[in-house]
Amino acid sequence: MQPARRSKPASHWTEPDVRGALRAMQGWVCAYCLKDLADGDEVEHFRPKAQSLYWWLAYEFTNYFLACHGCNSPTNKGTRFPIEEGSARVVYETRDTLDAEGRLFADPSLDPVDEWFHVDLFRLDGLIKLEVRPQVVRGTVDRTRAQRTIDDLRLNLDPDVTQPRHRAFVDASKLHERNDILELRRRASRFQPQGLTYLAYLKDFLPEVSLPTSDEELSWFLAEVNRKVTEYDRLCRDGQADRQSDRRFEEILWMLAAFWVDPPALDVSRIEAWMDGHGFIALVGPLRDRLLPSAMLPRDTRRP
């Protein structure tokens, strides 16, 4: 029996538990263009939930990413989801074959995006240009997916995307000049805005410097999370906390619960020790217990 379709699904994907689990995957970084999401984001359906497309995936957690408004807009990704020419689009009746669908977009959680994409520096008419380019063997499906993602999401054309990338490169250069290599490595993390640009800088200009490890990335991110919690505590003490800040704090708790259940790095015992050391056990423990029997866990992923 086929379930009844809704004309407009209720947006349960915006709830703090879902958004918190996505934070555990991405931090506050757009899954596609890597912009900073500190000022706002949207839960984006990788395969569009439109009735003419993948409506039955509207509530599937593995179909969600956090994205900026620009990437989620009709002018960029929107409801686009191209598939290979001659390939059959998966429908509800054939949903068991979804993993084999001939998609032409890179999936930030399944595909090795650090290997597929590179930020290249070059000069054009005397100006420094930075472009995301595929670094996959030509003639392969992976190459096609990487290039189609770059083109359809306008990653090298939209000024709202290219300008932050350029600022990140300038910042990386200044950190290099100051010999602040530790901070440069920290900003090359998957959890940091424009992390791919900082990573490319390290690879191209400081090849002797070790790239950040997964354990380092998560440790740095948890330190950032602790600072956000400290700021929320200050707002509460000053009577300045509002509904928005309360929701953001709730998202953080769910994110920590997701880390505790299924950490992308370190291990459960070290995550638990960190929780205990920062006084989160009592707050996060009940949320972790609710996640344990659930399939809605963040998938291991590097930077989108």
Read off the pLDDT band of 124 (50, 70, 90): confident
The answer to whether residue 38 scores a pLDDT higher than 90 is no
pLDDT for the residue 133: 94
Picking from 82, 103, 130, the residue at the C-terminal end of a domain is 82
Tell me the pLDDT band of 121, cut-offs 50, 70 and 90: confident
Q: How far, rounded to the nearest angstrom, does the alpha carbon of residue 199 sit from its chain's CA centroid? A: 16
Strand partners, 67: 42
Q: How far apart are CA 227 and CA 200, in angstroms?
A: 27
Per-residue pLDDT at 132 exceeds 60: yes
**Could you tell me if residue 226 is inside a domain?**
yes
Does the pTM surpass 0.75? The reply is yes
CA angle 75, 159, 147 (to 5 degrees): 65
CA angle (206, 209, 210) in 5-degree steps: 135
Kindly give, in sequence order, each residue whose CB lies less than 8 Å from that of residue 106, ignoring residues fewer than 6 positions away. Answer: 113, 116, 117, 145, 146, 149
Q: What is the pLDDT of residue 293?
A: 64
Lookup result for tokens 């330190």: 223
Identify the band that residue 1 occupies on the pLDDT scale cut at 50, 70 and 90: very low
d(C-alpha 113, C-alpha 297), whole Å: 20
Would you say how long the chain is, in residues?
Answer: 304
Q: Write the DSSP string, 81-123.
A: --B-TTPPPP-GGGGGGGGGS-B-S--TTTS-HHHHEEEEEEE
Question: In this predicted model, what pLDDT tens digit does every residue of 266-299 receive, in sequence order?
Answer: 899 999 999 999 999 999 999 999 988 644 444 4
**Greatest Cα-to-Cα distance within the chain, rounded to the nearest angstrom:** 64
Domain hosting residue 243, numbered range: 214-291
The predicted structure's pLDDT at residue 8 = 56
The 10 Å Cβ neighbour count of residue 135 is 13
Distance set, CA 174 to CA 4, 170, 204, 272 (Å): 56, 6, 15, 37
Residue 273 lies in a domain: yes
Residue 246 included in any domain: yes
| Domain termination site, one of 82, 107, 127 | 82
Helix axes 159-177 and 195-205, enclosed angle (nearest 10)? 40
- Domain-located, residue 29: yes
Q: Is residue 63 part of a domain?
A: yes
Asked whether residue 238 is assigned to any structural domain, the reply reads yes
Q: 66 has which bridge partners?
A: 43
- List pLDDT tens digits, range 214-232: 999 999 999 999 999 999 9
Q: Which 3 state secondary structure label does DSSP give 79?
A: coil
CB 75 within 8 A of CB 36: no
pLDDT the model gives residue 296 = 44
Number of domains in the chain: 2
Residue among 78, 84, 194 nearest 132 (CA):
194
Domain boundary residue among 82, 110, 126? Answer: 82
